[in-house]
Chain A
């Protein structure tokens, strides 16, 4: 075995993937060759650091999602059809949210075609955002039975309200996928419960598997918005979309007052 052979085999040797005969051939060579010992040591350290690097990125979203559910396939409907009534109102709302609340994850989804004067405004927003990012506080919390990463973008929400609103929104999502109209109505304000009774199909999304992650929560003049990033198998291809769930205070808790769908 010469140095060139060793160069080829070193990585597999370090990972313990060579057969015994080849491995002992490499070991014998390393005993006698100072040049290859240096290469071995350098590669061993680098490989160790690369393996550690693979564990060094903590995703901001939690994927062990509470709304993971499976149900018998039922009638399939298209999202566009069911959500058409709220699409127009959402377009306006999302712009307002992005500007007023400077929610980075939402801002990303708002299509902005910058003309010259808007670019300057965007740059100012960007400076504000990076200031906020420096102040981000990330921690784990138990939401709806699953551990999730909470990222606080603005310290305006009351802790208990924040938790209660998110749990209520997730319960609503579960009921949508479980096809449970009664549960949906119980979680909704009177107005929304009446709309659900009138057009239940608009609020059900049964027949699929779903993952849901809360992207953001914000409060605006007493109303709470929970933004949830969704994937489901109802429309299997390009399955990502977002649910925006509005909640109103009801005693100590919250009721869902509107549900909107976004790309």
Chain B
């Protein structure tokens, strides 16, 4: 029976609100700053075949399509016919998960009438997963922490004690990391209950008909919007900071027959550093860019993305081979949306934005304070976004992720640091008919001896380019005691060391004047 547009709306809204409710529960109970301050987690409901039906509304773009792929990978590892109600499966394999070990993903089959009608899946950035602390210096995955292949965490509601013990033993924050896993288990129980209630209220035996309609309608609309664009192949390339040598990013976006094919051939080879970005993450960033351009208003679901194919040569930084180090994949993957905007600028000049001052910047500080307490703090910094046809860029804002900066008062109360200044950088936005967003300058003094500082920074050498004659944003800068520092290597700060962080500005749009 075909479902009418009213019933579909009612059921789909219920399913989306189920994952939104689960998301709120995770925000409140998680220990990871990345989950509770930065929405660095996701809750997804898939159909019985592992295709995404609903994703929580605030979930950041990195997770588009990743959890459904995890569900399918779990089903490939564990035959669904052997699953039971109350089972929960777990993995943090970057290639079938979200791109790095820090995100633990859980999958729970939703049973109704004695069979699997859906899967609930969650992923969350745990406080610690062992390995090196968020360093891009790792050369292989093995240095990056505890690796869990797809396996069973709960059988009939009972946890695998060996797995929990192993996990606790291999991480620095056993209580918090385990606590966050249980927060996800609770969120999955909530999704399970809400889905079953929705089925009962609407007298549905399963979600097959709902899924088919949502996917079919979404795919048709996405293809219609693609088909409205001129057919052809648009290319774009850019260079980024890289390591000793700059990295090259190259894309060819082909619009043909109501589909988009995105290929990253020509992009730099994978690196023996934790800057590689697995194809799942590359795909998520690509899907984000295209959806934001063409169909931003529709809730994420598998149908939207069926018209998009993403390929990248195996062994490049956007599709590295196991066991490449991948911990800092955002610093590479965040270049994908502006790359695609660059390619489609001529096709969609009113929609695209000039390049932003992202990827996200991070400074990790770890050491021992004067009272003898160890600390490990993560501070995030954002640049300005690129300008568009009708708006200036936004100053100092997270993009394409959505990570809040730590308040100064919190930073000073949890680590031996003194912040002297945090202010917008005048003139850092690229000039143009519309100006790029400004970055900010933050000046931090270290108040303990021998503090290890690890940075993730980009756009210190290659600024965010403008569009259509707009100028590039200002370069980012990191100084220690007034001297530019090598942010690709761990630095040691002494008492009184002053770190000056200047985040990059976004590119301008159109010629000024």
A and B interact physically? no
Chain B residues in the interface with A (C-beta under 8 A)? none
